Structure 1
Amino acid sequence: MVKKGETIDITIDDIKFPNKGIAYIENNKKIIIKNSIPGQKLRVKIKKKKGDKVDAILLEILEKAPNEVDGPCPVFKECGGCSYQNLNYEDQLLLKEKFILDILKDFHLEDIYEGVEGSKKTFEYRNKMEFSFGDEYKDGPLTLGLHKRGSMYDIVNTSVCLLVDNDFRIILTSVLNFASHHNYTYYHKRSHEGFLRHLVVRKGIMTGDILINFVTSSQGQLHEDDLVNSILNLPLLGSIKGIIHTTNESMADIVQSDKSKLLYGQDFIYDKLFDLSFKITPYSFFQTNTIGAMQLYSTVKEFVGTIRHNTIYDLYCGTGTIAQVLSSNADKVIGIEIVEEAVVAARENAKLNKIDNCEFYSGDVLDLLDNIKESPDIIILDPPRDGIHPKAISKIINFQPKAYIYVSCKPTSLARDLPYFLQAGYTVTRLKSVDMFSQTPHVETVALLTIK
């Protein structure tokens, strides 16, 4: 029997979503090691035991898995931004297919599952990155990048990050040099003291528009002109449209605005999905993989079919991207979203695209469904990662449309919500995944549910 603190050698036998390797030991106990893949031989240290599960910390990779490759990013082993650069992309897709089928195994959907559609870009696909200021080790020099794997505090310099294009990397390097030159302190998460917090870069993949948000606390003075000039002189392929300084006093390690000041240009950019344009503000939701979003929305549109419908509901509609993509499929599309800023953006984008049959309402789905009179032919569900609130599901089901299309960014939430629809007489007739997040365990899954 293994003991807490003990060091042992194991082989990873299986893997569980999102990135938990499993090794089986005596009496079928499971040792769980994050960021490992089947076939690896590892030296681990037992961290804690609970029932038949044992958590362990990776100390050393003794032998690679048979299908393991060297991750192309120089900081892959240290950075927490990616999990699976050490697998060829074909193996990543097989792994994601396994995740989906394992999680949904109780529904017996293997025969209708259409697999995972791979991303057209497996690197340099992200249109937004939130970089954090900090140090790579305690009291080390200032750095800027992503969290070190398994750490809440240490930051890895990701000036070589391969999930974004070279403009992001150039901007990160320039901003870090600027901050180091001025001897700024970074904001310490434990003491809540310090100045620099985050650098958020957004880029229109189809337009080249770039928006930069420099996030600090109020515990310092920003050299605004130096920052703007250092960025505007960079040799970028895209075009800087705006630079913002945001003051954030929240103790939580999140990007939010207590006060924002526009230092240059405008506080928005544009990007395109198909022939539609979308205005993107600093805090508006827009899928982080633009090309992948078009693949995802093409799947949704395919599931909707070619027959024109009277009314489509787009619940949890965000900035109304799906609603506008489906505007040609119905006489009316009604979108509901709890974030008021997103609804304002949705209305503005519909006007920009000269779409007049989309209506957007701000509020909780649970409350607003009581006030909408039109009966939907199809309901699109694209909920947050945690899925649909159980109280909202009953109201959604009461509409009894011909079909639901559930767009899930977290398969465990889909598995939790599906029984409600099945009990109401619906059946899953199509199921397909779309990979928008290569090199990571995450995958979008689209389910078409029709009434029996």
Structure 2
Amino acid sequence: MQCSYFDAALCLSCTLMGQPYADQLAAKQRHCADLLTAYPDTEWLPPVASTESGYRNKAKMVVTGTVEAPRLGILDAAGNGVDLQGCGVNSPGLRAVLPTLAAFVTRARLMPYDVPARRGELKYLLLTESPDGQVLLRFVLRTDESVPRIRKHLGSLLAELPQLAVVTANLQPEHKAVLEGEREIPLTARTTMRMPVNGLGLQLLPKSFFQTNTQVAAALYRQGRDWVDEVAPSDVWDLYCGVGGFALHSAGPGRTVTGIEISREAVAAAEAARDEAGLTGVRFAARDATAFAVGAADVPDLVVVNPPRRGIGAALSGWLESSGVRHVVYSSCNAVSLAKDLAAMPSMVPRRARVLDMFPQTRHYEVMVLLERTAATVG
């Protein structure tokens, strides 16, 4: 993939831009395998490739410029805006709505936020596209001063972009590198967008996390489901469950599944998807994952963990090591923290591993490992 923004040094976020995709994927596989050399008996499944471009289902567009000429993109090192409406890693559906949204900024007189001067109102446009083309749009504002004008012109925007399923305003008053604030103001009757994945209707609320690459996310959940079904546990915990992707894919006859996620909004979305699918034996709770595990009276047969980049940490690694849990499915977006966590669980040995390229054109990737308890200690 070639990118005119990258070639002109306007945006260097995709650090592997221009490199042959096969080489990118092979390098990620080698990097991950090198980090897990302590486990030579691991079976490495073929990596899951992505489409090279148009794979991102979400766009985080910084709004700069003026009311008359807004720029949607990123900030350069000096805090000035760079317009990236044609960014090729964003999905075609997201790229298609950006010019209309730029025109809406002018029509609704939404003052872009000037970072160096610390003035203005509109900070970001946050967009997520579902597999069926619907879009969730969030205006991130400094105050609620602009909300009445957004409401006034929203009808015309929805007429121009009928794919907008959910629109909200998020208030983030602080001048610091924080993407969103606590307060979310619904602007449409619908507040949840359906995300069909592998026949399940996952639900996405404005603040819910969802994987950036829908195609690879579907493969991720299928791999997790296959490993769970292979082990055939009667009890499964999905820690850091988010909107319930792994938990709902793990459901099955005679099996109880418990999803734990600290975000109440994500739990509500997971419960909605469960109810729509008519799945029994699946429950969700808004709890801290580590506190839930450490404080539980019972131990499941299998635990799924899908933590943030920092990994599961010493406390949860220590609990898993001493708990007696027989199998763990660990999905990681940072193989460095994965290797650190595995070193703290010497009784849990990787039996299978798979790299999934969630982020083409960058050095980032997802990796999944199936861990099995063994009496041997891996040094």
The normalised TM-score by structure 2 is 0.89
Alignment correspondent of 2:125: 199
Alignment correspondent of 2:73: 145
- C-alpha displacement of 1:131: 0.8
Output the CA distance in 2 between the equivalents of 1:326 and 1:432: 18
- C-alpha displacement of 1:103: 2.9
Alignment correspondent of 1:72: 2
Output the CA distance in 2 between the equivalents of 1:365 and 1:209: 31
Alignment correspondent of 2:21: 89
Instruction: Give the number of equivalent residue pairs.
Output: 370
Alignment correspondent of 2:61: 131
- C-alpha displacement of 1:240: 1.9
The counterpart of 1:116, out of the listed 47, 50, 60, is: 47
Over residues 269-301 of structure 1, what are the superposed CA-to-partner deviations in whole Å (9 max), with x where a residue is unaligned? Answer: 101111110121110112121221111112222
The 5 Å alignment of 1:34-433 reads 71-77=1-7, 78-105=10-37, 107-109=38-40, 112-119=43-50, 121-135=51-65, 142-148=70-76, 151=77, 153-180=79-106, 184-205=110-131, 207-218=132-143, 220-221=145-146, 223-225=149-151, 227-234=153-160, 239-328=163-252, 331-422=255-346, 425-433=347-355
Report if aligned partners of 1:178, 1:230 keep a CA contact under 8 Å in 2.
no
* Aligned CA distance change for structure 1 residues 211 and 304 (closer, same or farther; 3 Å): same
Output the CA distance in 2 between the equivalents of 1:220 and 1:75: 34
Output the CA distance in 1 between the equivalents of 2:254 and 2:306: 18
Which structure has more relative contact order (CA 8 Å, sep 6+)? It is: 2
User: Could you list the runs of 5+ residues in structure 1 that have no partner in the other structure?
Assistant: 1-70
* Aligned CA distance change for structure 1 residues 388 and 199 (closer, same or farther; 3 Å): same
User: Could you list the runs of 5+ residues in structure 2 that have no partner in the other structure?
Assistant: 375-379
Output the CA distance in 2 between the equivalents of 1:388 and 1:400: 17
Over residues 356-393 of structure 1, what are the superposed CA-to-partner deviations in whole Å (9 max), with x where a residue is unaligned? Answer: 21121222223222443332111111111100121222
Report if aligned partners of 2:42, 2:353 keep a CA contact under 8 Å in 1.
no
Report if aligned partners of 2:118, 2:175 keep a CA contact under 8 Å in 1.
yes
Alignment correspondent of 2:359: 437
More strand by share: 1
Q: SS in structure 2 opposite 1:123?
A: coil
Letter in 2 for 1:250: E
Report if aligned partners of 1:134, 1:153 keep a CA contact under 8 Å in 2.
no
RMSD: 2.6
Report if aligned partners of 2:321, 2:348 keep a CA contact under 8 Å in 1.
no
Report if aligned partners of 1:100, 1:411 keep a CA contact under 8 Å in 2.
yes
The normalised TM-score by structure 1 is 0.75
Q: SS in structure 1 opposite 2:166?
A: strand
- C-alpha displacement of 1:183: 5.8
- C-alpha displacement of 1:446: 0.8
Report if aligned partners of 1:317, 1:323 keep a CA contact under 8 Å in 2.
yes
Over residues 104-158 of structure 1, what are the superposed CA-to-partner deviations in whole Å (9 max), with x where a residue is unaligned? Answer: 34x1548633342212x3322222211111259xxx964111344xx37233211
* Aligned CA distance change for structure 1 residues 88 and 219 (closer, same or farther; 3 Å): same
More helix by share: 2
Identity %: 25
Output the CA distance in 2 between the equivalents of 1:177 and 1:82: 27
- C-alpha displacement of 1:265: 3.9
Output the CA distance in 1 between the equivalents of 2:313 and 2:231: 30
